[in-house]
Amino acid sequence: MSEPKKNFTQKKNQLSKFLHNLSGQTIWIAFLLLVVSVSLFEPKFISSINLLNVLRQVSIVGLVSLGMTVVLIGGNFDLSTGAIVTLTAVVSVNIGPEDTGSTMLSIIIPLLLGTIVGLINGLLVGLLKANSMIVTVGMQFIVVGATLIYSGGQHVWVWQPTQFYENIAGGYFLGIPNPIYIFLILTVVTQILLKRTTFGRYVYALGNNDEASRMMGVQTNLIRMATYVFSGFTAAIAGIVLASRVKNLDPTAGLGYEFLALTAVVLGGTKTNGGEGRIFNTLAGVLILGLISNSMTLLNISYNKQLLVRGLILLVAVAIDARRGQRVMK
């Protein structure tokens, strides 16, 4: 190959790589434009107090979104996460974390419950090859029903939780609420898990081509099961944070988080048919949802209209995902 032609090819490859990376950051560009636009309409929006409040509010949805991103990259859905949040939050509060021993139990037992539900999902989807959407919707009903039976359909509360339990959601470090740290630390951990480990490479391979992954020797059933275990675990952490924050819970308090998380994940560019997704783009999707919700509240837009907007955002995100898939097929 001649030198000029070689240089042209290298520059073309560099440009292609730059455009690919830029397309992957579109969600962050949208995030920055949203911040600037809302700030022009409502100056209070940009205040440090309000921004920290937004980050604290989205931390629970964000935690659920991390696990859902991993499951979705693997080519499956998990619509049981809202129910897991509900179950773990109710159990955590109902244990009565009013001394050191009960506080530890109010954290350990919900984590175990969330992980077990995720494991059952993984067994049904991974080993039995059942449809992931049907399995997890069915699991949602089971978990919600179990939660209502456990609580007698009544509110649960704790009057005098320990300081440690109170600080899970109510504490600060260097002026920043603890839930933000929990969410961001787990975001980094999930990023490392997906990008720096064999498990992460197998998750992407599974989402791209299940059969090819199996022929390469990947234990696809085990990997799929592990994605659900991780999703159940992150949803359980979200439930504990919710319990610590509210301390007086309706036994259906977490329902709906699964759809908020799904909206954030798809908005962040994770493909609904698997094989593609970035954790930090999921973070951007979570932040955008939080900013939109916060800005509508500041502008005194009713909750009913906010639900309408959230639904429209999900539909737009799914439409973009479908359109992107069509381009890839061409």
Q: Which pLDDT belongs to residue 13?
A: 54
Task: Report residue 262 as tokens.
Answer: 């799904």
Cα–Cα dist 85/114, whole Å = 8
pLDDT digits (tens, 9 = 90+) for 125-155: 988 889 999 999 999 999 999 999 999 999 9
Contacts of 189 (CB under 8 A, 6+ apart): none
Average of pLDDT values for 270-295? 91
- In 3D space, the residue among 281, 264, 280 whose CA is nearest the CA of residue 318 turns out to be 264
- In 3D space, the residue among 81, 95, 72 whose CA is nearest the CA of residue 244 turns out to be 95
Q: Which pLDDT belongs to residue 18?
A: 44
Residue 42 predicted with pLDDT over 70: yes
Q: Which pLDDT belongs to residue 116?
A: 97
Tell which wins on pLDDT, 295 or 102: 102
Q: Which pLDDT belongs to residue 23?
A: 47
10 Å CB burial of residue 137 (0-12, 13-18, 19+) is: middle
Question: What is the gyration radius of the CA atoms in the chain, in angstroms?
Answer: 21
Cα–Cα dist 265/110, whole Å = 24
Q: Which pLDDT belongs to residue 22?
A: 43
pLDDT digits (tens, 9 = 90+) for 86-124: 999 999 999 999 999 999 999 999 999 999 999 999 999
3-state SS assignment for residue 91? helix
pLDDT digits (tens, 9 = 90+) for 166-211: 999 999 999 999 999 999 999 999 999 999 999 999 999 999 988 8
What's the mean pLDDT when you consider all of the chain? 88
End-to-end CA distance of the chain: 30
Residue 63 predicted with pLDDT over 80: yes
CB 194 within 8 A of CB 203: yes
Pure H helices in the chain? 3-24, 26-41, 48-73, 81-95, 100-122, 132-151, 163-170, 178-195, 198-208, 210-215, 220-246, 257-267, 279-298, 303-329
Task: Report residue 215 as tokens.
Answer: 């022929």
Q: Which pLDDT belongs to residue 112?
A: 98
Q: Which pLDDT belongs to residue 20?
A: 47
Residue 14 predicted with pLDDT over 80: no
Task: Report residue 186 as tokens.
Answer: 């787990």
Rounded to the nearest 5°, which phi and psi values hold at 96?
80, 70
Tell which wins on pLDDT, 128 or 84: 84
- Of 49-58, 60-69, 295-304, which gets the smallest average pLDDT? 295-304
